[in-house]
Amino acid sequence: MIKQKSNYLNEFKSKTTKSKEFFLEAKDVMPGGVTANIKSFDPYPVIMEKGKGAYLYDKDGNEYVDYLLSYGALMLGHGHPQVIRAIQEQLETDGTMLFGTPHQLEMDMGKKIKELYPSMDKVRYTNSGTEATLLALRLAYAYTGKYKIAKFEGHYHGGYDQVLLSVNPSLEEAGEQHEPNSVLESKGIDPYYAEQTVTLPFNDLEHTYSILKKQKDEIAAVILEPIQGGFIPAEREFLKGLRKITEELDILLIFDEVKTGFRLGLGGAQGYYEIDPDITALGKVVGGGFPVGIVGGKEDIMMVSAPTASSDVFDSSQSKRSSAKDVLFHSGTYNGHPTILAAGLKTIEVLEQEIEQVFTITERLKHGIEDLFKRRGVAMQCIGQGSIFNVVMTEKEKVMNYRDLQDANFSLRKELDFGLLSKGIYTKPLNRYSLATVHGEKELNQTLEAYDAVLSEMF
């Protein structure tokens, strides 16, 4: 039972006055004061000045144990010395931060990815996870000659038109649970994409199969997060069944492992579940803190993008023999950026030695938080696998999908988050927790002490 309405929001405001001042000034420069909507929250975001190891420091000098870690990207924490050294060595050795030509690190990273993700026969680099899923879909269209896709309700694959549907729809708009509507999630999206994107019920194989079967001749691929939102796992039998029915229906299976790559193991969710998708998209961790995306898949699919003579769209004005439209065009000035690949390779090297300790500390944190709630008789679950999880205030026995999650008490969770912020524990309110190699005994104890204090005040 809640003791009384907390004063955490006022405490947050009193401790972050410089963040508020900065935010008000930033609103004169950027729409809404931010350059990415995800960075915003009410009443204003905390403005950070410095990061080191497991910690962030804001403009008011407050110190936080960081569990956002740039939405999971920083699996070695902030400013890891080996990553910094790798960047410096790349710049000193190569003499440049960008070649604009093929180079050795493209090969080195590609070989390492192929070793860790055996389903990826060949790879291409992009500049973000969003770009990676975008290329994955274009490969699927080109390879199959079909132009619809299917995604799952509650799954996020980037901020572009084809996939920004039914990520967080209202239940009124979402329709029937077993056959969800495709709901546009942003202004400015052509309603055409609601017709071209089929929405599926996650962890429901029977109805997923029924929907896919009806439109199998139009759907190029099913794309999914094997762990929805980074924390709601697919049932093992569901994923095995999905792999089987996509093969039966001649539909490609795309794993969006931007969140899960390296966070469930060095081989991502596909290694954890022992399932080979047709195409994989990676991002976040593999960039070592820099923007990156990697797309890989079966050789015959990936070869659709292989350039041939005069297949560059930019050569068409100079050559009457241009055949650019005969291959899948994919390019980008910064694809395979050497500095980023150096940082990413060093990150993988460190994780190969230290990843198990991240999983161990994550499990201890989850069990510690659950125990503190249990002592007070408050219903909640720490849901997730590997080094990511979320704190879900729910009485449901098991959260399987987006609809189950809607029964959670979000207002109580938000109050908890502001209480934790006031005691130096950082994640964006209502967001998941990501852990890193730099989270140790000190951070674990500090976090559980903060939870204990906040819960004692709340309940």
Together in a domain, 225 and 291: yes
Together in a domain, 267 and 320: yes
Q: Are 401 and 204 in contact (CB under 8 A)?
A: yes
Whether the pLDDT of residue 220 is over 90: the answer is yes
Q: How far is the C-alpha of 433 from the C-alpha of 6, rounded, in Å?
A: 23
101 contact partners, CB below 8 Å, separation of at least 6: none
Instruction: Tell me the pLDDT tens digit for each residue of 11-62.
Output: 999 999 999 999 999 999 999 999 999 999 999 999 999 999 999 999 999 9
Q: Are 197 and 151 in contact (CB under 8 A)?
A: yes
Together in a domain, 360 and 316: no
Together in a domain, 178 and 305: yes
Together in a domain, 49 and 108: no
Q: How far is the C-alpha of 122 from the C-alpha of 301, rounded, in Å?
A: 9
Together in a domain, 257 and 357: no
Inside any domain, residue 85: no
Q: What is the 3-state secondary structure (H, E, C) of the chain?
A: CCCCCCCHHHHHHHHCHHHHHHHHHHCCCCHHHCCCHHHCCCCCCCCEEEEEECEEEECCCCEEEECCHHHHCCCCCECCHHHHHHHHHHHHHHCCCCCCCCCHHHHHHHHHHHHHCCCCCEEEEECCHHHHHHHHHHHHHHHHCCCEEEEECCCCCCCCCCCCECCCCCHHHHCCCCCCCCCECCCCCCCHHHHHEEEECCCCHHHHHHHHHHCCCCEEEEEECCEECCCEECCHHHHHHHHHHHHHCCCEEEEECCCCCCCCCCCHHHHHHCCCCCEEEECHHHHCCCCCEEEEECHHHHHHHCCCCCCCHHHCCCCCCCCHHHCCCCCCCCCCCHHHHHHHHHHHHHHHHHHHHHHHHHHHHHHHHHHHHHHCCCCCEEECCCCEEEEECCCCCCCCCHHHHCCCCHHHHHHHHHHHHHCCEECCCCCCEECCCCCCHHHHHHHHHHHHHHHHHHC
**% of the chain residues with pLDDT over 70:** 95
Inside any domain, residue 267: yes
Whether the pLDDT of residue 2 is over 70: the answer is no
Inside any domain, residue 88: no
Catalytically active residues, by annotation: 156, 256, 284
Would you mind telling me the total number of residues written for the chain in this entry? 459
Together in a domain, 139 and 50: no
Domain that holds residue 250: 98-336
Q: What is the pLDDT of residue 11?
A: 94
Q: What is the pLDDT of residue 3?
A: 61
Has this prediction a pTM greater than 0.85?
yes
Inside any domain, residue 343: no
Q: What is the pLDDT of residue 412?
A: 94
Inside any domain, residue 309: yes
Whether the pLDDT of residue 389 is over 60: the answer is yes
What backbone torsions phi and psi does residue 56 show, to the nearest 5 degrees?
A: -120, 150
Q: What is the pLDDT of residue 308?
A: 76
Together in a domain, 313 and 357: no
Whether the pLDDT of residue 317 is over 60: the answer is no
Together in a domain, 119 and 66: no
| CATH number of the domain within which 285 lies | 3.40.640.10
Residue 424 φ/ψ region, left for φ over 0, alpha for ψ in the -120 to 50 degree band, beta for the rest: left
Average pLDDT of the chain to the nearest whole number: 95
Q: Are 148 and 182 in contact (CB under 8 A)?
A: no
Together in a domain, 113 and 47: no
Separation of first and last alpha carbons in the chain: 6
Inside any domain, residue 253: yes
Residue 119 φ/ψ region, left for φ over 0, alpha for ψ in the -120 to 50 degree band, beta for the rest: alpha
Choice among 120-124, 209-213, 246-250, 316-320 with the minimum mean pLDDT: 316-320
CB atoms < 10 A from the CB of 415, how many?
A: 20
Together in a domain, 123 and 189: yes
Together in a domain, 185 and 210: yes
| CATH number of the domain within which 415 lies | 3.90.1150.10
Number of domains in the chain: 2
